[in-house]
């Protein structure tokens, strides 16, 4: 992963190689991709997907305040407040019309960002979005997370657990309150940008029914399922996820499809 840069918003950004990014950006091959992690985690579980995108355009992975070893805020921000921080960061980076990619709770932040500042987004991608409106409680989400952990590869769990430790239980629990109260299924209905919902075929946190309901609410939406993968599908099948995103941006996706998964490790 490239070296980090701290922004005035308190967000830490990892940018793709400039020699590759500048060349492709000049050719107009595709807009920049911005990767936003979920609750308790960091840019590290996007590392494989980040490398996939580096080969064909500019890509940025972020660490939000309180995550990935960054300084914790003195309060627990709402989804809207985090979205405004993200907008400030993209302004500082002079980015417009980017592909916003959010995983898990990151899905909430990128949806809200696209609603508050549609000028910043060309497309919105949510991977394993939370929280299912039929199971919107801390107990239900904890059970689904436990089931997911039991099925994720050891290397994936090692990456995620280390980030959970760096986040700490107090801030994790504090952020779970806005996560569980954010009505993402209602908010996507107001999106003016195309929405891609992507999930691992065996994800117990973002079920197929829940993801289909999100797509149905969005004015322009499609669903991609990567078979045999789970919640952290961007780490276990980065090539399939990158391929689906490229097809989405190019306008080649049907309303619902499956992506061939890569090796899980």
**Residue 150 confidence (pLDDT) above 60:** yes
Q: What is the pLDDT of residue 17?
A: 57
In a domain, 55, yes or no: yes
Give 157-204 pLDDT, tens digit per residue. 999 999 999 999 999 999 999 999 999 999 999 999 999 999 999 999
63 Cβ contact partners less than 8 Å away, ≥ 6 residues apart: 4, 11, 12, 13, 14, 37, 42, 43, 69, 70
pLDDT of residue 240 exceeding 60: yes
Structural domain includes residue 118: yes
Confidence of residue 29 (pLDDT cuts 50, 70, 90): low
Q: Does residue 265 lie in a domain region?
A: no
End-to-end CA, the chain: 19
Nearest to 194 by CA among 92, 79, 58, 97: 97
The range of the structural domain enclosing residue 224 comes to 4-258
CATH number for 218: 3.40.50.1820
pLDDT at 2: 66
Q: How many CB atoms lie within 10 A of CB 29?
A: 13
Q: What pLDDT digit, counting tens, does each position of 108-134 carry?
A: 999 999 999 999 999 999 999 999 998
Average pLDDT over residues 18-24: 42
For residue 264, being part of any structural domain is answered with no
| Domain count along the chain | 1
Average pLDDT over residues 241-248: 96
How many of the other CB atoms lie within 10 Å of CB of 100?
27
Question: Chain-wide mean pLDDT for the chain?
Answer: 92
Among residues of the chain, what percentage have pLDDT more than 70?
Answer: 90
**pLDDT classification of 223: cutoffs 50, 70, 90:** very high
Write out pLDDT tens, residues 161-170.
999 999 999 9
Give the residue carrying structure tokens 């973002």.
206
Q: Please name every residue paired with 258 in a beta bridge, in sequence order, or none if there are none.
A: 225
pLDDT at 9: 86
Q: What is the 3-state secondary structure (H, E, C) of 66-100?
A: CCCCCCCCCCCCCHHHHHHHHHHHHHHCCCCCEEE
């Amino acid at each position: 992963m490239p070296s980090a840069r701290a922004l005035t918003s308190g967000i830490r950004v990892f940018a793709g190689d400039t020699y590759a990014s500048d060349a492709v950006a000049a050719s107009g091959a595709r807009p920049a991709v911005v990767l936003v992690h979920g609750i308790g985690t960091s840019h590290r579980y996007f590392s494989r997907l980040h490398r996939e995108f580096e080969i064909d355009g500019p890509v940025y992975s972020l660490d939000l305040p309180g995550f990935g070893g960054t300084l914790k805020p003195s309060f627990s921000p709402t989804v809207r407040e985090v979205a405004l921080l993200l907008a400030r960061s993209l302004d500082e980076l002079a980015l417009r019309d980017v592909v916003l990619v959010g995983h898990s709770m990151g899905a909430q932040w990128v949806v809200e960002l696209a609603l508050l500042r549609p000028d910043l987004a060309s497309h919105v991608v949510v991977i394993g979005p939370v929280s299912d409106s039929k199971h919107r409680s801390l107990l239900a989400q904890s059970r689904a997370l436990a089931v997911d952990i039991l099925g994720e590869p050891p290397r994936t769990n090692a990456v995620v657990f280390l980030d959970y430790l760096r986040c700490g239980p107090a801030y994790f629990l504090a952020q779970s309150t806005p996560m569980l109260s954010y009505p993402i299924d209602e908010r996507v209905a107001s999106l003016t940008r195309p929405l891609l919902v992507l999930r691992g075929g065996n994800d117990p946190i973002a079920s197929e029914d829940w993801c289909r309901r999100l797509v149905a609410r969005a004015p322009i939406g499609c669903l991609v399922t990567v078979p045999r993968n789970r919640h952290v599908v961007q780490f276990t099948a980065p090539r399939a996820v990158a391929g689906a995103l490229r097809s989405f941006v190019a306008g080649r996706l049907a309303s619902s499809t499956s992506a061939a998964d890569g090796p899980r490790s």
